[in-house]
Amino acid sequence: MESGPDEGIGAGSGPLRKKALMALYAAGCPPNVIKHSLAVAELAMEISRAIERNGVRIDADLVEAGALLHDIGRARTHAIDHAIVGASMVRGMGFPEALARMVEVHVGAGIPADEAEELGLPRRDYLPTTLEEKIVAYADKLVDEDRRMAPEEFARRFSKALGPGHPAISRFWRLHREISELMGRGSRVS
């Protein structure tokens, strides 16, 4: 089943979910981006639930909406600045600033100012800092289109794309360790 913000895939029920889905359609996001975003939201919610079972509070509504919106900028560009473009679209649509932030820092495992500048982005840190931001950035890394992949597979691809030893790869593994520890043993993703 495809088409329209009422579809039940992933079936979260947060109050922001429908608004986020409608925003994707209104922005003209391509269907494959919407499919990817739904898959990321589903994984992000599974991660959130596993972490919450260990007594850590998470704003799951924000995680779900952030995961749905993270690639909204791809309605306009697939370049690396889709995160910045997307964040500004989200701000313009009247979503909370926390959601714009989640969109802005989802690329890679975050990008520090010096690397951002090398990539041609405005020089500042684009690093996920809140747990909600980290969950969305992490879940996005483990979903290729709408297919889940193991952290090892992502790291292999990342290393092939960036060159072995690139600092972004160890940033990804740090993020992986942090999320995995919060999820606890036996809760491996994918």
Interface positions with Fe ion (CB under 5 A): 71
Give whichever of 49 and 155 is closer to Fe ion, judged by the CB atom: 155
Phi, psi of 126 (to 5 degrees): -120, 65
CA 124, CA 28: separation in Å to the nearest integer? 29
Give whichever of 50 and 68 is closer to Fe ion, judged by the CB atom: 68
Q: How far is the CB of 18 from Fe ion (least distance, A)?
A: 22
Strand ranges, E, within the chain: 143-144, 147-148
Give whichever of 50 and 100 is closer to Fe ion, judged by the CB atom: 100
Residue 175 structure tokens? 């993020």
Q: Which residue is nearest to Fe ion (CB)?
A: 71
Give whichever of 46 and 71 is closer to Fe ion, judged by the CB atom: 71
Q: How far is the CB of 70 from Fe ion (least distance, A)?
A: 6
Place of tokens 């919450």: 52
Q: How far is the CB of 83 from Fe ion (least distance, A)?
A: 6
Q: How far is the CB of 71 from Fe ion (least distance, A)?
A: 4
Identity (one letter) of the amino acid at 179? I
DSSP 171-187: HHHHHHHHHHHHH-TT-
